[in-house]
Amino acid sequence: MKYNKKKFIYLISPSKINNAFYNNLYKVLGSKKVSFFQLRLKKESFKKKYTIGKKIKKICKKFNVKFLVNDDVLLAKKLNADGCHLGQKDMNILKARKIIQGKIIGVTCHNSIKLVKKAVINKADYIALGAFNYTKTKRVKYIATINLLKKVRKITKTQIVAIGGINSHNYKKLLLNKANFLAISSYIWRNKKQKPIDAIQKLK
């Protein structure tokens, strides 16, 4: 996982994908600010996710963006995705590693130093911390602070993805405190004031 200062966005898909989405994705990835794209569809069938994933993977490849699948290691394998993101209730990282071997595996660590240490021991490629702000994407159970970010940075060199309600007003503080990537979804896909391409252009 190479860190490119200009490509600090870890983009997460909207919860529903319509036909207009692909055109918007093409434009957004063309901004050259995105390092990762995560397919996160909680309510679709495996078959539907596979069909959607194939289309998205092609667009990601064109713009040299790593394509990851949320939760579903078997789908990641079938799509030959670049990797998978695991929540704490998903498959164990060691089992996932056997299935997708040398691919990228990231782990949600909420706001817990204990979970961070466990993920580091298990050789996660990145750890996701948050939520740093209120978010529309999911119910916030765990609140993370800049102080936590600083503590985690002191104990590991593993790359950190900051998550939760990140937008053009609050993103800089996280980058200044050494978050490597910022996970963003609602600000791009559910922004009532700006189109996705205009929203992403504000993150410089």
Q: Using one digit for the tens of pLDDT, what is the confidence trace for 132-155?
A: 998 766 677 889 999 999 999 999
3-state DSSP call for residue 175?
helix
For 66-78, what is the mean pLDDT? 97
Inter-helix orientation angle 146-155/113-121, to 10°: 30
| 3-state percent breakdown (helix, strand, coil) of the chain, nearest 5 | 40, 20, 45
pLDDT grade, residue 6 (50/70/90)? confident
Closest CA to 47 of 15, 14, 79: 79
Task: Fill in the DSSP letter of residue 45.
Answer: -
Whether domain 9-201 has CATH 3.40.30.10: the reply is no
Report the distance separating Cα 44 and Cα 52, nearest Å. 10
Kindly state the percentage of the chain with pLDDT values over 70: 96
Q: pLDDT at residue 3 above 60?
A: no
**C-beta of residue 156 within 8 angstroms of C-beta of residue 124:** no
Which pairing describes strands 126-129 and 66-70: parallel, antiparallel, or unpaired? unpaired
Return the H-helix or E-strand segment holding 68: strand 66-70
Report the distance separating Cα 72 and Cα 46, nearest Å. 9
| pTM of the entire predicted model | 0.95
pLDDT at residue 38, rounded to an integer: 98
Q: What is the mean pLDDT of the chain?
A: 95
pLDDT digits (tens, 9 = 90+) for 21-70: 999 999 999 999 999 999 999 999 999 999 999 999 999 999 999 999 99
Residue type, 198: D
Task: Please state the domain extents for the chain.
Answer: 9-201
What CA–CA distances, in Å, run from 140 to 12, 163, 188? 17, 11, 19
For 99-106, what is the mean pLDDT? 97
Q: Residue 167 is encoded by which pair of tokens?
A: 């937008």
